[in-house]
């Protein structure tokens, strides 16, 4: 090693690395191509992720709506404390609520469940509300009964500016259309929304649970004030207020950040799979390149080059290639940012710009370097096998991958670093680790499969069918491309089939809920006094409607066995939502049909004055709750203790009425409550929303199909991105196979020439190629389907907690398509070897 680091030696190595690279780049084109594609995918993912996070960070205050947010959730909060803060800051009050808005035309009226935000003149404290026509936002402050709606409401309800709409039983004038709002994080990202003046709240009847009221106070610090000191001062003011939650800009858009992190992690893992598949091809092409340079290496050794120097020349070439490719891949990934921006600005109102980050570039370069080194170590080590004495004998043996204990150790070490690079810092490290485990397991299985097929075919008794004989010989020969084809194709196909199965299962699960189990509508906020009116109205529309009406109250879990659960249950607990804020709970005489009891007994009728609680079994498991444990609930400000008497298996996926907590009706009936209803109509067109809203203006109606369509729409877009990227892994796999065929080219050409001399027809040669492909592909597809089934089952059943189903049609269509594309590619690559010119080969030219 000491010799290697002499500067003059290094200069020499670098010089010859450059000369060799410039003159041989055509021979290693597939390395350049596969490395570029895989690094480009990774660059694109990281660049878009960085640009998006930069946008979120730069606009953190705008996204939060201030320097600090005082969040009282569903109650107005302690105004005295808020006013104290107002003494040294600027505060913008806002209240969000959900309600129905509908058109007021003579006929064909439509309605939409909408989130409305009432704002004061100070809104927004940061950023701007982009809207049309200019000045419309001032109108909502100055004129009562005016409203700004988002583009989707405007389009869906076919509104015009200054058209009147009904919000509950009040008439409002639509004075403008919102293009985007700065505080996206405060709104439901993919819901419909509107802005109205602060007086609006008083004009509407908003005292129901269905309004989902949310009180927020956005705070802006005075210029020049010390941020930390002001934060501390505000924290001190609210120190004894347990209902408030203070949020800071760094926590803004946390949901969006989580989505970005998860999505980016997932895509990064697919891209690293593409890189590892490319690595197999790189190793193969590099070995072929070294084999072609066998004589030059021997000459260099004869001239006195050290083996290490020659190996360093090859490593330098790879390093130079990687430097240029990673710069190109990273640079070109910036071109994708405007495309992502178009989509994101439309969907979220975020405007992302390309962001150069030296750390991202280093990460991309490092990933490329690690993959190159891992796969080139056994290849470049083959140089040790080249002997200068071969020059005297005029004989050159074909080099093979060379593994020594040291090289295996170094490869494994670099592989671990590569895995750690993706695992550490990822949103879900354990999933990443599991993914890598599964990937390498697949790789090993496909490698063993190739060895097994070779073994099986070798032990086959000779056949008289010539094309079959030739194809078997091709597969079983020492320099067969079989292992590489099986590994690269197998991994790519497995990835694509798994994602396709996950995608179809997911979409089917979402879609199947609509006609089979789920109701057509949810009705929220039915007052006790309106219950009969509601029921009569529904029945008058459809006598055969399947109507379910249940009482609801809002309650919060204050203590579990005398201890505040938030003090020991972490936020990442799957069931944290149950204690996070007040939840809707209900009661029932009988055990709900789709909520079987898993432990304990139904209500003890001898204790009607004691609160008894039936709890979701999963929540009980997540919180380690036992039968007999005591919950202290806050109901309308009163603390009531209840005993857990049973656990139920609750399946929220059926979109029917499900509650984490049910109470004994003997006790709960006495609590003031309202109702929640679901309805499944014989024919959904029988339901007239506007008639219902005329009778019960404060009612909120959610059409399940609309929401499922929205979710399916988003899922479709997500899956298109995923399938696109996994298709690229298949493309890389195909390039690897094609390069492996080209590597074999000379042998193939010579073989075909011999066949030609022996009188083989072109048809027989083509047929042998097809048989060879079929033998390889069918074994690959069988194992790939097996892995795809196991992988997708795990993802659907254990991660998404949905029901997995085998989908033969998808597997068949996809398998057939990949098979045909691969076959065409193999035939095209082989085409040029079908007509070998006799003279040059016979003369050994």
Partner 1 sequence: MNTLLKLKKVNLKYQTDKDTIKVLNNIDLITKKKDTISIMGESGSGKTSLVMLIGGLEKATSGKIFFQNQDITALSEDEVSEIRRKHIGIVFQSFYLIPNYTAVENVALTLELNKFKNPQQQAKELLDRFGLKNRFNNLPSQLSGGEQQRVAIARAIAMKPDLILADEPTGNLDSKNSVMISNILFKYVKEEGSSLIIVTHDSKLANKAKRKIKIKDGKIV
Q: Report the C-alpha gap between 299 and 458 in whole angstroms.
A: 38
User: Which residues contact partner 1 (rule: CB under 8 A)?
Assistant: 3, 8, 12, 15-16, 19-20, 23-24, 295-296, 298-308, 387-389, 391-394
Q: Report the C-alpha gap between 615 and 592 in whole angstroms.
A: 13
Q: Report the C-alpha gap between 735 and 732 in whole angstroms.
A: 5
Q: Report the C-alpha gap between 703 and 707 in whole angstroms.
A: 7
Residues 6+ apart with CB under 8 A from 409: none
Q: Where are the alpha helices (DSSP H) in 601-670?
A: 617-623, 665-668
Closer CB to partner 1, 15 or 626, in the complex:
15
Relative to beta strand 661-663, strand 583-587 is: parallel
Instruction: Report, in Å, the least distance between residue 269 CB and partner 1.
Output: 40
Closer CB to partner 1, 19 or 790, in the complex:
19
Buried b (16+ CB within 10 A) or exposed e, 268-281: bbbbbbbbbbbbbb
Choose among 372, 494, 448, 441: nearest CA to 39: 372
* Token pair of 690 as six digits: 């506007």
Instruction: Report, in Å, the least distance between residue 460 CB and partner 1.
Output: 27
Angle at 331 between CA 328 and CA 333, to 5 degrees: 105
Q: Report the C-alpha gap between 94 and 411 in whole angstroms.
A: 58
Relative to beta strand 89-103, strand 214-221 is: antiparallel
Looking at the chain, how many residues does it have? Answer: 845
Instruction: Report, in Å, the least distance between residue 312 CB and partner 1.
Output: 13
Q: Report the C-alpha gap between 435 and 495 in whole angstroms.
A: 11
Instruction: Report, in Å, the least distance between residue 3 CB and partner 1.
Output: 7
Instruction: Report, in Å, the least distance between residue 781 CB and partner 1.
Output: 42
Instruction: Report, in Å, the least distance between residue 845 CB and partner 1.
Output: 10
Closer CB to partner 1, 397 or 624, in the complex:
397
Instruction: Report, in Å, the least distance between residue 19 CB and partner 1.
Output: 7
Instruction: Report, in Å, the least distance between residue 27 CB and partner 1.
Output: 10
Instruction: Report, in Å, the least distance between residue 411 CB and partner 1.
Output: 24
Q: How far is CA 295 from the centre of its chain?
A: 50
Q: From the CB of residue 404, how many other CB atoms can be counted at a distance below 10 Å?
A: 12
Helix, strand, coil shares of the chain, percent, nearest 5, are: 55, 15, 25
Q: From the CB of residue 390, how many other CB atoms can be counted at a distance below 10 Å?
A: 17
Q: Report the C-alpha gap between 581 and 585 in whole angstroms.
A: 12
Beta bridge mates, 180: 130
Closer CB to partner 1, 119 or 380, in the complex:
380
Closer CB to partner 1, 19 or 824, in the complex:
19
Closer CB to partner 1, 304 or 672, in the complex:
304
Q: How far is CA 86 from the centre of its chain?
A: 41
* Token pair of 116 as six digits: 């409305």
Place of tokens 């006495």: 670
Closer CB to partner 1, 387 or 566, in the complex:
387
Q: Report the C-alpha gap between 9 and 12 in whole angstroms.
A: 5
* Token pair of 661 as six digits: 């907590």
In the chain, how many H helices and how many E strands? 27, 20
Closer CB to partner 1, 459 or 845, in the complex:
845
Closer CB to partner 1, 628 or 840, in the complex:
840
Closer CB to partner 1, 292 or 813, in the complex:
292
Instruction: Report, in Å, the least distance between residue 386 CB and partner 1.
Output: 12
* Token pair of 60 as six digits: 């953190």
Closer CB to partner 1, 4 or 171, in the complex:
4
Q: Is 347 left (phi over 0), alpha (psi -120 to 50) or beta?
A: alpha
Instruction: Report, in Å, the least distance between residue 319 CB and partner 1.
Output: 20
Instruction: Report, in Å, the least distance between residue 280 CB and partner 1.
Output: 27
Closer CB to partner 1, 300 or 673, in the complex:
300
Asked whether 178 and 495 are in contact (CB, 8 A), the reply is: no
* Token pair of 349 as six digits: 């109102």
Closer CB to partner 1, 24 or 513, in the complex:
24
Instruction: Report, in Å, the least distance between residue 28 CB and partner 1.
Output: 13
Instruction: Report, in Å, the least distance between residue 5 CB and partner 1.
Output: 14
Instruction: Report, in Å, the least distance between residue 21 CB and partner 1.
Output: 11
Place of tokens 């709890």: 615
Asked whether 433 and 423 are in contact (CB, 8 A), the reply is: yes
Beta bridge mates, 116: 97, 194
Instruction: Report, in Å, the least distance between residue 390 CB and partner 1.
Output: 9
Closer CB to partner 1, 10 or 702, in the complex:
10
Asked whether 547 and 538 are in contact (CB, 8 A), the reply is: yes
Closer CB to partner 1, 384 or 622, in the complex:
384
Closer CB to partner 1, 14 or 421, in the complex:
14
Element at 114 (helix H, strand E):
strand 111-119
Residue 141: exposure state from Cβ atoms within 10 A (0-12, 13-18, ≥19)? middle
Asked whether 102 and 165 are in contact (CB, 8 A), the reply is: yes
Instruction: Report, in Å, the least distance between residue 840 CB and partner 1.
Output: 13
Q: Report the C-alpha gap between 485 and 501 in whole angstroms.
A: 23
Closer CB to partner 1, 317 or 505, in the complex:
317
């Amino acid at each position: 090693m000491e010799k290697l680091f002499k500067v003059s030696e290094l200069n020499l190595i670098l010089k010859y690395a450059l000369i060799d690279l410039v003159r041989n780049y055509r021979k290693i084109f597939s390395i350049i191509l596969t490395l570029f594609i895989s690094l480009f995918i990774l660059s694109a993912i990281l660049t878009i992720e960085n640009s998006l996070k930069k946008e979120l960070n730069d606009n953190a205050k705008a996204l939060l709506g201030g320097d600090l947010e005082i969040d009282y959730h569903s109650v107005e909060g302690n105004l005295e404390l808020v006013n104290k803060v107002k003494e040294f800051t600027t505060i913008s009050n806002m209240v969000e609520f959900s309600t129905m808005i509908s058109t007021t035309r003579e006929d064909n009226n439509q309605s939409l469940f909408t989130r409305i935000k009432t704002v004061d003149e100070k809104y927004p404290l940061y950023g701007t509300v982009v809207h049309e026509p200019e000045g419309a936002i001032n109108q909502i402050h100055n004129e009562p009964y005016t409203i700004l709606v988002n583009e989707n409401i405007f389009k869906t309800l076919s509104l015009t500016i200054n058209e009147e709409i009904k919000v509950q039983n009040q008439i409002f004038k639509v004075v403008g259309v919102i293009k985007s709002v700065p505080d996206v994080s405060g709104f439901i990202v993919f819901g419909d929304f509107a802005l109205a003046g602060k007086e609006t709240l008083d004009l509407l009847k908003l005292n129901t649970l269905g309004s989902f009221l949310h009180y927020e106070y956005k705070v802006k610090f005075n210029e020049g004030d010390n941020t930390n000191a002001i934060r501390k001062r505000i924290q001190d003011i609210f120190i004894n207020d347990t209902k408030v939650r203070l949020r800071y800009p760094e926590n803004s858009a946390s949901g969006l950040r989580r989505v970005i992190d998860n999505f980016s992690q997932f895509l990064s893992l697919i891209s690293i799979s593409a890189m590892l598949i490319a690595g197999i091809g790189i190793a193969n092409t590099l070995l072929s390149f070294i084999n072609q340079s066998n004589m030059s290496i021997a000459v260099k050794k004869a001239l006195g080059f050290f083996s290490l120097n020659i190996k360093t020349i090859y490593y330098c070439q790879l390093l130079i290639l990687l430097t240029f490719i990673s710069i190109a891949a990273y640079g070109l990934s910036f071109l994708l940012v405007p495309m992502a921006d178009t989509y994101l600005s439309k969907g979220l109102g975020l405007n992302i710009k390309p962001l150069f980050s030296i750390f991202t570039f280093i990460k991309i370069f490092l990933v490329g370097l690690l993959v190159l080194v891992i796969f080139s170590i056994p290849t470049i080590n083959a140089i040790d096998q080249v002997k200068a004495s071969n020059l005297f004998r005029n004989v050159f043996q074909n080099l093979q991958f060379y593994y020594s204990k040291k090289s295996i150790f170094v490869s494994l070490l670099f592989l671990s670093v590569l895995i750690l690079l993706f695992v550490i810092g990822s949103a879900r490290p354990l999933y990443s680790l599991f993914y890598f485990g599964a990937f390498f397991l697949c790789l090993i299985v496909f490698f063993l499969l190739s060895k097994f097929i070779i073994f099986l075919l070798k032990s086959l008794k000779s056949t008289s069918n010539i094309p079959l004989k030739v194809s078997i010989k091709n597969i079983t020969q020492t320099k067969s491309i079989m292992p590489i084809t099986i590994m690269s194709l197998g991994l790519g196909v497995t990835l694509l089939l798994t994602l396709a199965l996950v995608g179809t299962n997911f979409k089917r699960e979402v879609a199947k809920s609509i006609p089979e189990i789920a109701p057509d509508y949810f009705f929220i906020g039915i007052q006790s006094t309106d219950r009969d009116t509601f029921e009569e109205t529904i029945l008058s529309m459809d006598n055969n409607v399947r109507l379910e009406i249940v009482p609801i109250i809002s309650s919060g879990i204050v203590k579990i066995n005398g201890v505040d659960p938030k003090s020991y249950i972490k936020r990442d607990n799957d069931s944290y939502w149950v204690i996070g804020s007040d939840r809707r709970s209900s009661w029932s005489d009988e055990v709900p049909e789709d909520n079987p009891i898993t432990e304990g007994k139904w209500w003890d009728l001898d204790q009607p004055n004691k609160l008894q609680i039936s709890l979701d079994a999963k929540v009980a498991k997540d919180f380690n709750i036992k039968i007999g444990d005591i919950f202290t609930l806050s109901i309308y400000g009163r603390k009531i203790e209840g005993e857990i008497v049973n656990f139920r298996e609750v399946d929220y996926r059926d979109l029917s009425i499900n509650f984490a907590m049910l109470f004994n009706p003997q006790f709960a009936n006495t609590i003031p409550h309202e109702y929640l209803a679901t309805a499944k109509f014989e024919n959904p067109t029988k339901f007239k929303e506007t008639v219902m809203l005329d009778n019960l203006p404060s009612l909120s109606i959610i059409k399940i199909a609309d929401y499922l369509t929205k979710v399916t729409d988003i899922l479709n877009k997500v899956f298109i991105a995923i399938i696109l990227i996994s298709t690229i892994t298949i493309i890389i796999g195909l390039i690897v196979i094609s390069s492996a065929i080209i590597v074999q080219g000379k042998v193939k050409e010579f073989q075909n020439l011999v066949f030609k001399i022996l009188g083989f027809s072109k048809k027989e040669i083509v047929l042998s190629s097809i048989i060879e492909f079929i033998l390889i592909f069918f074994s690959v597809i069988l194992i790939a389907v097996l892995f795809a089934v196991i992988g997708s089952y795990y993802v659907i059943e254990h991660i998404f907690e949905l029901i997995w189903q085998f989908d033969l049609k998808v597997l068949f269509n996809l398998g057939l398509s990949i098979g045909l594309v691969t076959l065409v590619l193999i035939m095209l690559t082989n085409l040029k070897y079908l007509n070998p010119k006799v003279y040059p080969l016979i003369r050994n030219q």
